[in-house]
Every structure is written in C-alpha cells, then in structure tokens.
Amino acid sequence: MASGSRTSLGFGIVGVGMIADYHARAVLDAAGARLVGVCGRSEEKTRAFAAKHNIGFSTTDLQALLAHPELDVLCIATPSGAHLEPAIAAARAGKHIVIEKPLEVTLPRVDALLHEARTAGVKLMPIFQARFGAGARTLKAALTAGRFGRLVLASAYVKWHRTAAYYQDSWHGTQSLDGGGALINQAIHGLDLLQWFAGLPSEVFSWNTRRVHTGIEVEDTAVASLRYPDGTLGAIEASTALYPGWARRIEICGENGSAVLEDDSLVRWDFRESRPEDAAIHAARPDPMMKSGASAPNQISHHGHLRQIENLVACIQNGTPLEVDGPEARKAVALILALYKSASTGAVVSVSSAPTTP
C-alpha cells in the first residue's frame, strides 16, 4: 500500500459537513494516524475545514486527493446516498475506506460498494461507534455466554429531537440522499446494536408517519413489530419529532435475566443468579464519551470514532481483526429497508441477509 515504510497511516476525508469534523478529530487523536488531505464540493468550505484542522492539502477534486502520495485511507463523510461513488474511486485507487453509517441507502448500492472493496483487497470499516462502549460490550458478552437463557423480547427505542432547521439543508429528510428519515439516519445505531445483540429478525411489520416534520419526504416517526427466527419477539420505536429527546434505549429480556442499555449505560442488569462481576456492572458510571445525539446531532463525542479509527490502524498495521466490517454493517440497512417495505405495502416482510448481485 501507499504507506511504504512510514510508521503512521495517512488519512484523507471527502465531505466537509458536520460529521467530517468527528472524523478529523478522531484521526488527529488516533495513535498511528495523521490527516494529509481533505476534499469537498465548495472550495471555500474545504479550505476553511483544512485550516480548522491544520490539514496541509485541500481540493475539490477527489482524484487529486486519491493521488496524494501519503494517502492510505479515505474517510467518506458525504451524504448517505452519495457514499458509493467515492468508495468505488478509493477502492480502485487502492485506498482503505472508512465510511459513515449507513453504508448506502439501497442494498444494490451497498453490495456494489462491498464488491468493489473486496475486489480491490482494501479494508472497509463502517462507522458504528456505539458497539465500542463498555456497556454495549458487557451486554454482548453476557449474551454470547448464554446468561439470558432463551430470549423473550428484544427491542429498541430511539425517541429523539431534531429541529425544523435540521431538515432545511440540502439532503436531510430526502429520499435520494438520506434514504429515509428517523429509521435510517437516527435509529440506525440502535438497530445495529439490537441486531448485534439478538440477530436479525426474520419478519417485521412497520408503520411510518410524518407527525411533526411534515415538509420532509420521509418519516419522522416509525413503530414496528419484530419476530426473530427462534421465536423471540420485539419492537422498535423511532422518532425525531418529539421533545426533548431521550437516551437511546435497548431492552434485552430473557428467561434468566434482563438488561436495559441507555446510550452506553446499563441502567438495568437483573439476573436470576448473580455473579461476582455484577457488583461492578451495577456500580459503573456512565461513559460521557459514548453519549448519543438525542437532542441534537452535535451532542456526540468523537471518541467512538477514535476507537474505530484506532481499530482500523491496528488492522492495517498488525492484522488485528476489524470489529465492524462491511458485511456486518449491511445487516442494519437490510433491516431498515425491510421496515420501509412493510410500511409502504402494509404487509409483513421477511428480512433477508442475502446479497444482491453487484
């Protein structure tokens, strides 16, 4: 790869909107990483972004950034429905890829993206930083160990607030670039956690509505019922229409115990049989670095992104496995698109994890 004998990896960013700031701060703080360039559509905004983060190279030409001799990894921070094209360009240039959630807004575009990265032999790391919190990992470990017994209910609640001004930019709330509304943009982290914990449901039934943000093209509120392959049931509630916005909540309930994860805090941890580690879990204090953007998108910390960037650096330099890869991130998109199909058809929809043909 382009890194040659350098001890740190060179990162570039395409896109200079709000989320690009989180990528920049994460790379700047990550061991073994440095920012070498940025690309945006507006020359003025791109230069301002470069100055803010002390980036030496800025351009409005993606190919110029990809040709930078010190570039190893491209972070894609464009609108959701504009991820595929820069990802293809990066893969064909032999650059590893970091890509914001969701991977893309349709499964054919997701699968084309995965195909290009696989064909080029480059690493692809989607951003799902909620998996990197201590609370989420504790819950996942307990599930893997079978501590809950048979699951009974597995549900996610993402009841957030977004202002009217949030939807008045060029792409939020549009079908073509956002791919949907509260489900695919805001709730996706919670739904990724839910499927990471309980697996993909086999069938879903969903309702969508525009309850408050009536001027947008997509839903601001959704509810759904879930049925998992093993018979577990569940529910989803997602919205950007309410005030003031509550912490993301995941509930996992089983025959031998139940837990509730709010953002990354385990606020309930109740088991039929206690274990020595339970006292520390009950006493754990919330990690302020893993707060979600319940009331505004800029409330999150960049530390979740930082943990993922450092995982990618370790993967490239030392062969450490990626903790979230492309096929894994595809699952949340498949679930959400099944929810959208159910809402549009009024029917129960099967959730398929089978890839489409690129």
Q: What is the predicted pLDDT for the residue at 3?
A: 46
Q: Per residue in 223-281, pLDDT tens?
A: 999 999 999 999 999 999 999 999 999 999 999 999 999 999 999 999 999 999 999 99
How far apart CA 226 and CA 354 sit, in angstroms, is: 19
Does the pLDDT at position 169 exceed 60? yes
* Range in 188-202, 285-299, 303-317, 322-336 with the lowest mean pLDDT: 285-299
Does the pLDDT at position 4 exceed 50? no
Q: Measuring CA to CA, how many Å separate 37 from each of 93, 99, 277?
A: 15, 16, 45
Q: Is domain 9-126+304-324 annotated with CATH 3.40.50.720?
A: yes
Q: Per residue in 267-296, pLDDT tens?
A: 999 999 999 999 999 999 888 888 889 999
At residue 137, φ and ψ (nearest 5 deg) are: -70, -35
Nearest partner of 354 among 324, 327, 321, 323, judged by Cα: 327
Whether 284 and 295 have beta carbons less than 8 Å apart is answered as no
For range 29-40, the mean pLDDT: 98
Does the pLDDT at position 105 exceed 80? yes
Q: Per residue in 122-146, pLDDT tens?
A: 999 999 999 999 999 999 999 999 9
Share of the chain above pLDDT 70, in %: 97
| Domain boundaries of the chain, sorted by first residue | 9-126+304-324, 131-293+331-350
Q: What is the predicted pLDDT for the residue at 283?
A: 95
* β-sheet with 58-59: strand ranges across: 58-59, 33-39, 9-14, 73-76, 96-99, 124-126
For range 108-128, the mean pLDDT: 98
Cβ-proximal residues to 262 (8 Å cutoff; 6+ apart), any chain:
247, 248, 249
Whether 30 and 310 have beta carbons less than 8 Å apart is answered as yes
Does the pLDDT at position 1 exceed 60? no
Give 131-293+331-350's CATH code, choosing from 2.60.120.330, 3.30.360.10, 3.90.1150.10, 3.30.465.10. 3.30.360.10
Does the pLDDT at position 5 exceed 50? no
Q: What is the predicted pLDDT for the residue at 354?
A: 63
Q: What is the predicted pLDDT for the residue at 2?
A: 45
The yes-or-no answer to whether 9-126+304-324 and 131-293+331-350 have a common fold is no
Q: What is the predicted pLDDT for the residue at 98?
A: 98
How far apart CA 196 and CA 131 sit, in angstroms, is: 9
